[in-house]
Amino acid sequence: METRQTGWVIIIVIAITMISWLSITLLADINSHEMIYLYLFFPVLLVPALLFYQLTVIVDYTEVKIRFGIGLIRKSWKISQFDSARAVKNSVLRGWGIHYGLNTTIYNVSGWKAVECKLKNSKRSIIIGSAEPEKLAAHINRMIEKSNR
């Protein structure tokens, strides 16, 4: 199973910022030495856009894999590490991106829907953002059951 969560807020904010920045550079009376600094700003915006525009979750018989954006940031867990999975709603305090807490690690790019995966023999849990949390949690639980047989 594969699901994707698109970071529309990230995409829109970066696109508006880049268009605004380009408009300012074209309309303003700036000499060529200062223009270099303005154009160096584009890669600063482009890198986070490419890294975090989407979160892809792939679940197979042995692993749960996540990949952000173009795939430079990725993580995987063996199904056998999980005790259970359930659909949850993230709070505003948890935010978006990658966050490490005392007992929780969050991977999310948009929205408030997610799947919380409890780890075996641990208080830790992993929260993975998803556009289809109920479907994803059910699939992970099926894979956990199959791995326990």
d(CA 118, CA 97): 19
The reported pLDDT for the residue numbered 39 is 74
Is 91 in contact with 108 (CB distance < 8 Å)? no
Q: Locate tokens 């529309």: which residue?
A: 8
Q: What is the pTM of this model?
A: 0.83
Is 130 in contact with 136 (CB distance < 8 Å)? yes
Summarised one tens digit per residue, pLDDT across range 10-55 is: 899 889 988 888 787 777 777 767 777 777 777 888 888 899 999 9
HSE value, Cβ hemisphere, 13 Å, CA-based, for 15: 7
Summarised one tens digit per residue, pLDDT across range 69-121 is: 999 999 999 999 999 999 999 877 677 788 888 899 999 998 889 999 999 98
Q: CATH classification of 54-148 is 2.40.50, yes or no? A: no
Domain residue spans of the chain: 8-52, 54-148
Summarised one tens digit per residue, pLDDT across range 47-63 is: 888 999 999 999 998 99
